[in-house]
Amino acid sequence: MTTKSIDPKSIDTILDKTIQTVSESKEQIFEIGEQSREEFEKLTRELKDIKERVLEIIQQEDALDTKSRLARSRLAEVSKHFNKYGEKEIKQAYESASQFQVELISVRQKEATLRERRDDIERRLVNLSKTVERADRLVNQISVVLNYLDGDLRQVGEYIKDAKEKQEFGLQIIEAQEDERARVSREIHDGPAQMLANVLLRSELIEKIYVQKGVDEAHRELKDLRKMVKYALTEVRRIIYDLRPMALDDLGLTPTLEKYVKTLTESTGIQIGFKSIGNERRLPSKMEVAVYRMIQESVQNACKHAKASEIQVKVEFQDTLTILIRDNGVGFDPNKAREQSFGIIGMKERVDILDGNMNIESKEGRGTLILIQIPLNKQEAGR
């Protein structure tokens, strides 16, 4: 069975329209989230005001209830000894008791109205909170989709002309990124988002502590709050770095790889060595990104799947960029199809795009060696 060849320009046109549509959807979802967040903040302020008014109404009600009971007692006394009091005193006692009773009923109606509004706001706040959370999650997921539509998938489109092969590879990309999107969403929700929610609660608590316990106690709480904000900021920077290390643009490939290896060693406890030799220099931006991602994929595979305790990474700059990644893990048979082989497929595609070659040597129980060679003269000439 054969498939009809499709002009890559047509695929790019479809990709452009898809990216535009997805981008517009992202903006709309973002606007919904922002509107919901503004409404949430507005209702939160109103809820606070209503709670304060309820307390004031309760105090008024208590005072009026006391006065009403006294007025009724006075009326009962006057009624019991009717002959002792004149018409003016009887009328005054009756009107006083009636007035306090009317005021008490009015205050209780106000309290009931405020409580009803309070309960309605609290229900709306719960729904708004869920809407904001869903909108944030969707925006993050769509951002990941856009990155791959405008990045890896577009590069694949330039080199895969067969429609069936492109469709299958595109589906593999989407399927392989589901776990990554879920991980990023989970990290943001469980990390910075949760911390910022706690910051909001702590800030409200500090206001109460300031009023009830004074400046010193509030100052101590503020110190803890600053620590929480600082940790949340660190988590956000870590997540951003995982998505796209800014050092790659600013410092180049070698310093970024050194930082990546150091950070991964500290977080996993695995001994990961890095060495760069030859004439180190800046490479074209797209090439640096591709090389960084290939090394990142290889090292992460060794950490997660190979159960390696030692990993060595070497990069040599000559006329050819030579990359060597070796681990002492469990190894595998490269000739056997693997369910989770998409990472290797993606690496091969990147190497092909850069006109390089990749060789994988591995045996079960003997570790893995990955050798990648990319010619630099052609890549640097095409900057």
CATH at 88: 1.10.287.2610
Same domain, 99 and 212: no
The CA distance from 233 to 227, in Å, is 10
Of the three residues 150, 179, 202, the one that is the final residue of a domain is: 150
Q: Which residue has the tokens 């790889």?
A: 257
Here the tokens at position 197 are 């929610």
pLDDT digits (tens, 9 = 90+) for 191-212: 666 777 777 777 777 777 777 8
Same domain, 12 and 145: yes
Of the three residues 243, 277, 295, the one that is the final residue of a domain is: 243
Residue 155 in domain: no
User: What is the bridge-based pairing of β-strands 271-278 and 320-327?
Assistant: unpaired
Here the tokens at position 342 are 């998409």
Question: What confidence score (pLDDT) does residue 311 get?
Answer: 94
CATH number of the domain enclosing 338: 3.30.565.10
Same domain, 126 and 91: yes
Helix, strand, or coil here: 377?
helix
Q: Which residues of the chain have pLDDT under 50?
A: 1-4, 161, 163, 176, 337, 339-340
Q: How far, in Å, are 220, 351, 376 from residue 216 at the CA level?
A: 6, 61, 63
Residue 371 in domain: yes
The CA distance from 300 to 268, in Å, is 11
- Contact (Cβ atoms closer than 8 angstroms) between residue 364 and residue 333: yes
Same domain, 73 and 105: yes
- Contact (Cβ atoms closer than 8 angstroms) between residue 328 and residue 309: yes
Helix, strand, or coil here: 383?
coil
The CA distance from 175 to 345, in Å, is 14
- Rounded to 10 degrees, the C-alpha dihedral 30/147/174/351 comes to -170
Same domain, 329 and 212: no
Upper half-sphere CA count for residue 263 (Cβ side, 13 Å): 12
Beta bridge partners of 274: 313
Same domain, 200 and 268: no
Question: How big is the CA angle at 146 (ends 172 and 161), to the nearest 5 degrees?
Answer: 50
Query: Which residue range is the domain that position 233 belongs to?
Result: 162-243
- Contact (Cβ atoms closer than 8 angstroms) between residue 363 and residue 307: no
Widest distance between CA atoms in the chain: 122
Residue 302 in domain: yes
Question: What confidence score (pLDDT) does residue 184 get?
Answer: 63
Residue 364 in domain: yes
Same domain, 237 and 289: no
Model pTM?
0.44
Same domain, 18 and 138: yes
Residue 157 in domain: no
- Contact (Cβ atoms closer than 8 angstroms) between residue 312 and residue 326: yes
- Contact (Cβ atoms closer than 8 angstroms) between residue 148 and residue 178: no
Residue 352 in domain: yes
Question: What confidence score (pLDDT) does residue 3 get?
Answer: 43
Amino acid letter for position 340: Q
Same domain, 183 and 206: yes
Q: Which residue has the tokens 């008490």?
A: 104
Residue 1 in domain: no
Of the three residues 243, 276, 307, the one that is the final residue of a domain is: 243
How many independent structural domains does the chain possess? 3
Residue 293 in domain: yes
Same domain, 212 and 229: yes
The CA distance from 70 to 85, in Å, is 18
Q: How far, in Å, are 101, 126, 127, 193, 332 from residue 39 at the CA level?
A: 39, 12, 11, 18, 55
The CA distance from 327 to 272, in Å, is 9
Same domain, 366 and 323: yes
b/e per residue 207-232 (b: at least 16 CB within 10 A): eebbeeeeeeebeebbeebeeeeeeb
The CA distance from 250 to 344, in Å, is 28
Same domain, 238 and 342: no
